[in-house]
Structure 1
Amino acid sequence: MRPKEFDPDQIADAAMQVFWQRGYAATSIQDLVEGTGLSRSSLYNAFDSKHGLYMCALKRYQQMTTANIELLGQEAPALERVRRLLMKIVDNELQDDQRLGCLAANASLEMAGQDPVVAQWVAQNFKRIEAALEQVLRQGQEQGQVASQKNPRALASFVVCTIQGLRVLGKGSLPDERRQRLLDVVEVAVASLA
């Protein structure tokens, strides 16, 4: 058996970009052939199907976003860590000239309602960031920064919703209003945690 002549992670990265730009339904196998540089037969042999390659692309995206969780683990007051994460999202949106948004949110909106495998991945992806946020918010309660009567799990879900809302506003705001709208959301969100 001949060894693979390509790096599956690089192919998943290339496919991720295609799916991110076009969405799952609008992406054809030909788009994936052109985007990855592999032949149809190589794509099918390595990933079984368009869906298999999509799931690999989503897993690569999840690895890519691990930096967001690492940001929450840094040494700083709890609310500052949450603010840093939200500001990183704002910066990503402001630098996203193509307005691609969040691949997990895109997958949730396009596929999760009809594909249980994607729905499970989306839920797991959101739970991962929620768990990290909940831990930070509990620390914030212990430090007296986060209101002790507020449920930290619910607050973590709220912050995840805020992140996804920032992504939607980033895609849907007019260019001259975009930055200020996103910054306003960050300020209101952080203030609501205290």
Structure 2
Amino acid sequence: MARTKEFDPDAALQRAVELFWQRGYEPTSMADLVEHLGIARASIYGTFGGKHELYLKALDRYLQHKDPQIVMALSQPGPVLPAVRTLIERYAAESALDPDRRGCMVVNTAVELAGRDAEAARAVEASWTVLETSLTSALTRAQAQGELSADKDPRGIARMLLVLFQGMRVMGRAAADPGRLRDAAAQAAALLG
């Protein structure tokens, strides 16, 4: 008869998200995971695989929560540009007001692992593609509705915003002057017309 798990794998995965998001991949040891998750090393390996597999599962969990929120915010019916401006302001505010200086787990993964870890790089790229595609679609819709000038390039603006958002997350993690983030957000919003 198979043994039943003495812990909730879903809750343990969520605790792993929090730990990896706060500390990163390399600084988090298996001992840290055992302590923070409150489960034995063998249970971690048996349920999630090694540290790398657990990190990728934690990153996927993070993305399952974050990416749909953005897609939903940008795909609502009605005027589009107010939603895009709100997203710009949200990125600036969240980045400036992050009390734990965790940043974004996707950006943290890009900086720490993507250059040397193909699986991490694919997850980062997939998330960035979701954001870029959602922005491009929203801005194309704004153009069709007459909100965005016909001479603007929706894909180019989407890419500029993607890069701006990721930069905001890095600067927020470094405790940058919140005025810089607010000014950058205002300039980006002004480019929309």
Q: How many angstroms does 1:76 deviate by?
A: 4.4
What is the match of residue 149 of structure 1? Answer: 151
Instruction: Determine if the alignment matches structure 1 residue 44 to structure 2 residue 52.
Output: no
What is the match of residue 6 of structure 1? Answer: 7
What is the match of residue 114 of structure 1? Answer: 116
Contact 2:103/2:170 (8 A) holds in 1: yes
Q: How many angstroms does 1:186 deviate by?
A: 1.0
Q: How many angstroms does 1:170 deviate by?
A: 1.5
Q: 2:163 aligns with which of 138, 155, 161?
A: 161
CA distance 1:9–1:90, shift in 2 (3 Å): farther
What is the match of residue 171 of structure 1? Answer: 173
Secondary structure of the residue aligned to 2:113 is: helix
What is the match of residue 98 of structure 2? Answer: 96
What is the match of residue 60 of structure 1? Answer: 61
Contact 1:130/1:156 (8 A) holds in 2: yes
Structure with more relative contact order (C-alpha pairs < 8 Å, separation 6 or more): 2
Distance 2:56 2:117 in 1: 11
Q: How many angstroms does 1:90 deviate by?
A: 2.6
CA distance 1:173–1:96, shift in 2 (3 Å): closer
Q: How many angstroms does 1:50 deviate by?
A: 0.2
Q: How many angstroms does 1:185 deviate by?
A: 1.1
Q: How many angstroms does 1:67 deviate by?
A: 1.5
What is the match of residue 133 of structure 1? Answer: 135
Secondary structure of the residue aligned to 1:112 is: coil
TM-score, length of structure 1 as denominator length: 0.91
Contact 1:9/1:60 (8 A) holds in 2: no
Q: How many angstroms does 1:82 deviate by?
A: 0.8
Contact 2:148/2:192 (8 A) holds in 1: yes
Secondary structure of the residue aligned to 1:6 is: coil
Residue identity matched to 2:124? V
Residue identity matched to 1:134? T
Superposed, which structure 2 residues align to 1:5-24 within 5 Å?
5-24=6-25
Q: How many angstroms does 1:18 deviate by?
A: 1.1
Deviations 1:31-90 (A, max 9, x none): 111111111000000111001100110011101202122211234422211111122223
Identity %: 38
Contact 2:25/2:55 (8 A) holds in 1: yes
TM-score, length of structure 2 as denominator length: 0.92
Distance 1:24 1:127 in 2: 23
Contact 2:93/2:182 (8 A) holds in 1: no
Structure 1 segments unaligned to the other structure (5+ residues): none
Distance 1:6 1:92 in 2: 33
**Total equivalences in the alignment:** 191
Q: How many angstroms does 1:169 deviate by?
A: 2.1
Contact 1:130/1:157 (8 A) holds in 2: yes
Q: How many angstroms does 1:8 deviate by?
A: 2.4
Distance 2:184 2:191 in 1: 11
Alignment root-mean-square deviation, CA = 1.6
